[in-house]
Amino acid sequence: MKKKIILIDDKPSIGKVVSIYLKKEYDFEYFENPIKAIDWLQTGQIPDLIISDIRMPEMMGDEFLTYMKKNELFKDIPIIMLSSEESTTERIRFLEEGAADYILKPFNPLELKIRIKKIIG
Ligand SMILES: [Mg+2]
């Protein structure tokens, strides 16, 4: 069975690009904001990995990561953060708060795929 990956990003174009690279190997799903992803998670879905943007209008990646790490059911799901700002401080903060990885935008989808493999195989 294919492993399940979800991507949360307010830009649907990112969802489309990542989907092209991941959909063959993974069961891939895209959400345009964390609220929708949380609604979906609360229906009992447990993805193998989550990729989440940081700067989103409805809910910031920070808040989403905190929510996930505080939730008994979801805290072990690895989360890769996507950042549009190069900031060592931010990178360290997210990694410290439990993010599995932190990738700067624009990213090479192949690099993302390799980083995913390192986390979930
Ligand atoms: Mg964004």
| Domain CATH for 66 | 3.40.50.2300
Tell me how far the alpha carbon of residue 33 lies from the centroid of ligand 1, in angstroms.
Answer: 9
Span from the CA of 56 to the centroid of ligand 1 (angstroms) = 4
Q: What is the pLDDT of residue 121?
A: 86
Number of domains into which the chain is organized:
1
Which range marks the domain in which residue 34 is found?
A: 4-120
Residue ranges of the chain whose pLDDT lies below 50: none
3-state secondary structure of 50: strand
Model-wide pTM > 0.85: yes
pLDDT value at residue 59: 95
Q: Cα of 75 to ligand 1 centre, how many Å?
A: 23
Backbone angles phi, psi at 89, to 5 degrees: -60, -45
The alpha carbon of 58 and the centre of ligand 1 are apart by a number of angstroms equal to 10
Ligand 1 centroid to residue 81 C-alpha, Å? 11
DSSP state letters, 53-88: ES--SSS-HHHHHHHHHH-TTTTTS-EEEEESS--H
Q: Which tens digits make up the pLDDT trace of 22-42?
A: 999 999 999 999 999 999 999
* Res 96: pLDDT: 97
